Amino acid sequence: MQLRFVGMEPSAALEAAVQEKVHKLDQFRSDLMSCRVTLAVDDKHKHQGRHFAVRIDLTFPGGELCVDKARGEDAYVALRDAFDDMKRQLQDAVQRSQDRSTAAPHR
């Protein structure tokens, strides 16, 4: 797992939260190759207070998934939303993979 903080100081508490969420993704695919998480302060909303943007790039054998739309006024909420979205994408990818393997002709 790689975690990058952009426009903000690194936080051990946020890093621990990310590690826990990445560990939960392992339950769906134990062969995850990499997970890159970027947590950034989003400058687009300066007049509305501090907003956080989260990007997750997940790589596994035969595929890669990306979440880049999670935003929130609270870093933990933005992380939760991003990882919830990634979990759904990963579950869909696992299901598609299982569907393909069961539909393959047996010789």
Q: What confidence tens digit (pLDDT) does each residue in 62-97 have?
A: 899 999 977 889 999 999 999 999 999 999 988 887
Q: How are beta strands 63-72 and 34-42 bridged, if at all? A: unpaired
Predicted pLDDT at 45: 54
Burial (0-12, 13-18, 19+ Cβ within 10 Å), 59: middle
Predicted pLDDT at 46: 57
2 DSSP β-pair partners: 36
Look up residue 71 and give its DSSP letter. Answer: E
How far is the first Cα of the chain from the last one, in angstroms, to the nearest whole number?
A: 39
pLDDT digits (tens, 9 = 90+) for 23-71: 999 988 889 999 999 999 976 655 566 789 999 999 999 899 999 977 8
The domain spans of the chain are 2-103
What pTM, to 2 d.p., does this model score?
A: 0.85
Task: Say which CATH class 2-103 falls into.
Answer: alpha beta
Dihedral of CA 5/7/11/13: which sign?
negative
